Amino acid sequence: MNNETKFFIESVDGVMSFVGPKGSPQPVTEVEMSRYLVSPDGDELSSENIDEIEVISLYPQHAMSTTLSTALEVKRVVNKYYPELKLNFVEPFYDHPDYIKALSESIKPHLKKFDKLIFSYHGIPMRHIKKSDVIGSHCEGRKSCCSSDNEAAHKCYRSNCYHTSKLTADYLNLNSNDWMMTFQSRVSIISPDWLKPYTDKELNKLPSENINRVGVACPSFIADCLETLEEINIRGREDFLEAGGTSFTLSLIHISEPTRLRRISYAVFCLKK
């Protein structure tokens, strides 16, 4: 993950240098930025003439537990140490054409290996969806509201996931029966009601529905992490094959692949403008 972040930072820097104005900002990681924000002498930012920060949350979809919590914490620290600092937040890029193309092209080479493609997203409790409903009546827990296009949908994690999946499926010319959306990594001790359907339950069930070859993509992250590799590529694979499946393909994102990385970086740059 650290190497993938390094590749991403270098690519964003390259895109800004190529298409951005003179004096485009220098990208840094959250760890590097924390040195400036909470430095003991308190003058790191002023000594380097930094008066504005662009914050990029490396999650394509909006969620209370990721993009929102990141924004709130950054605002808290900046208000405490540098109240005069200008903050700008890059919007989630779940439906940006360049991000969709990057994700789709990572899946495309594997299309002939499976009968159904599963978009497996990181799960969150349903109460997070209800809590982040900006109009208070948008979320009905049905696909019909996920496919809508309005302010509430733009702030809804499940809706963001649906749009990422649908746009990717359209790019790959998949029919509605060729793909599905599921959610992984639930923690029942936190809440008994998480976004459904559950990835592990579906992997166990699909062979009984004559779906014996599956492909899985995990678009909640722009780089594959240990959680995805262990939960999906090890446990998920074992569950599916033990249930009678014959072929399991995890479509890795491989953000360090130059073409895909440039597309994601350019998507971020366009949203920043």
- For residue range 159-207, list pLDDT tens digits in order: 999 999 999 999 999 999 999 999 998 887 667 788 999 999 999 999 9
Tokens of 112: 């002939």
Prediction pTM value:
0.80
- Strand partners for 190: none
Distance CA 4, CA 92 (A): 19
- Sheet containing strand 116-122, edge to edge, reads 179-184, 116-122, 213-217, 247-250
Q: Tens digits of per-residue pLDDT, 201-225?
A: 999 999 999 999 999 999 988 776 7
Cβ of 58: how many Cβ atoms within 10 Å? 21
Contact 206, 171 (CB under 8 A): no
How many angstroms separate the CA atoms of 154 and 67, rounded? 13
